[in-house]
Amino acid sequence: MNFQLDEKRLALQAAVREFAQNELAPGVIERDEASEYPLELYKKLGSMGYVGLPYEEKYGGSGGDYLDYALAVEEISKVDASMGISYSVAMSLYGGSIINAATEEQKLEFLPDVFSGKSLGAFGLTEPNAGSDAGGCVTTAEKKGDKYVLNGLKCFNTNGPLADHFAVYALTQPELGAKGLSLFHVKKGTPGFSIGKIENKMGIRAAQVSELIFENCEIPESALIGEEGKGFKYAMKALDGGRIGVAAQGLGIAEGAFEIARKYLMTREQFGKPIYRNQHLAFKMAELECEIEMAKYMVYKAALDKSEGRPYTIPAAKAKLVCTNAAMHVTTEAVQMLGGNGFMREYHVERMMRDAKITQIYEGTNEIQKLVISGALFK
C-alpha cells in the first residue's frame, strides 16, 4: 500500500493547481454573482490536455487514468466548484455513458469533441418525478422506421444550455419501467430538441443547469447507444464514475475553504493575538484537517479501484458520502471561524458553503449512497 502520489501525478496536480489559481480564481466571485460560465477557460484547459484526462487518446483524451482526473477535479474545485461539476459531468456522466456502451464507431464520432474540451457534454436522466427513483422516467423513445422519436422533459441537466452532445435516457418500452429504459446520443440543434428553463440556483451558480425538452424529436436509430432496455444499467454505471468526480469536487471545496480559514486564523488578531492561538479554533482546525485527509484517501482509493479494474460501486458511494459531507462541514465551520468576514462574498467561504450543499444531493443524494453501502452490507 502506497499513500504517496508519484512524481508525474504530483506534476500534473501542480500544473492544474497553477492554472486554477492563475486563470480561474480571478473573477470567480463575479461569475458566481452573474451566473456566467467561463467556457473559454474550459476550452483552454482542454487545449492543454486536462479535460480528457481519464480517456484514451484515440477518443480525444489524454491517456491518463481516473486518479489523474480526480486530482484535476479536486484542484479546479478548490477554486471554482462550478467548473469542477461542469467538467465532472462532461467526463463522468456524458463520457461515462458513451464510453461504457457505445460501438467503436459511435465513440469515435461522439467523444473527441468533448474529451478534447472543444465542447461540453451533458447527461439527461432526472425528470420532475424521477429523481432518486431514476427508474420512474416517463420520457419516451418510440421506434418509427429507422428513427426514434423522443418526447418528454429532463430536468437539472448540468451543462444543458452550453453542451453540444447529450446522453439522454428514455423509455423504449414504457410498460417495462426501468427495464425499458434505453440510452441515446442527441446532438444540439436536432429539430424537436430545445433547452427549457435555466435554473437560478443557491450554489454552483456559474455552472449552467437547465431542462431539456423533447417534442417529437427524431433521431436516427444509429443514435441508440448499446442495447435497448439496458439504459438503467448504463446510467447507474455512469453515476458510479460520476460519484468519484463529485467526491473529488467535494474534497476540493473542503480544501479550498480550509486553506482560506487557516490563513485567516494566522493573520486575524483579536485580544492582541492571532486567533489560531485560541485552542478551540486550533483544535477545530485539527479535526477538519483529519476529516479532509480521510476524505482524500477515500476518493483516491475509489479512483484507483476504477482505474485498475476493481469493483468501484461501493468505494465510489463511500467516497461521495464522506467527501461531500466533509465539504459541507468544513465550509460551514470556515464561515463561522471567519466571523462576519466569512459571511461576506469577498472572503469566498460563503460561496463555497453554498456550493458544498449540492454535492450532498446530486449524483445520488447521500441517503442513496447509504442505501448503496448498506445494501452491500446486508446482502
| Size of residue set near another protein by CB under 8 A | 15
Residues 6-35 that bind another protein (CB under 8 A): 7-8, 11-12, 15, 18-19, 22
Q: How many Å apart are CA 245 and CA 375, to the nearest integer?
A: 22
Partners of 299 in the β-ladder: none
Length of the chain: 379
237, 358 in Cβ contact below 8 A? no
Q: Applying CB under 8 A, which of residues 48, 108, 198, 294 lies at the interface with another protein? A: 48
Whether the CB-CB separation of 50 and 280 falls below 8 Å is answered with no
> By CB under 8 A, is residue 62 in contact with another protein?
yes
363 catalytically annotated:
yes
For residue 329, the tally of other CB atoms under 10 A from its CB is 18
β pairing state of 209-220 and 147-158 = antiparallel
In sequence order, the β-bridge partners of residue 195 are 212
Identity of the residue, 54 or 152, whose beta carbon is nearer to another protein in the bound complex: 54
**Candidate segments 3-11, 77-85, 125-133, 226-234, binder of another protein by CB under 8 A:** 3-11
Q: Cα dihedral sign for 72, 74, 76, 82?
A: positive
Query: DSSP state, 176?
Result: G
CB of residue 8 to another protein, shortest distance in Å: 4
Regarding 55 and contact with another protein (CB under 8 A), the answer is no
Shortest separation between residue 23's beta carbon and another protein, angstroms: 8
Applying CB under 8 A, the span of 43-51, 134-142, 156-164, 313-321 interacting with another protein comes to 43-51
- Residue choice 38, 60, 64, 241 for contact with another protein (CB under 8 A): 64
User: For another protein, which is the closer residue by CB, 63 or 131?
Assistant: 63
Q: How far is the CB of 91 from another protein (least distance, A)?
A: 14
**CB contact set of 159 (below 8 Å; sequence gap of 6+):** 86, 89, 90, 94, 120, 121, 122, 207, 208
Using CB under 8 A as the binding rule, whether residue 49 contacts another protein is answered as: yes
At 237 the three-state DSSP class reads: helix
What is the CB neighbour count within 10 angstroms for residue 113? 16
- Which residue stretch of 49-57, 198-206, 252-260, 295-303 sits at the interface with another protein (rule: CB under 8 A)? 49-57
Closer Cβ to another protein, 53 or 326, answer by number: 53
Contact positions vs another protein (CB under 8 A): 7-8, 11-12, 15, 18-19, 22, 48-50, 53, 62-64
Active site (catalytic) residues: 363
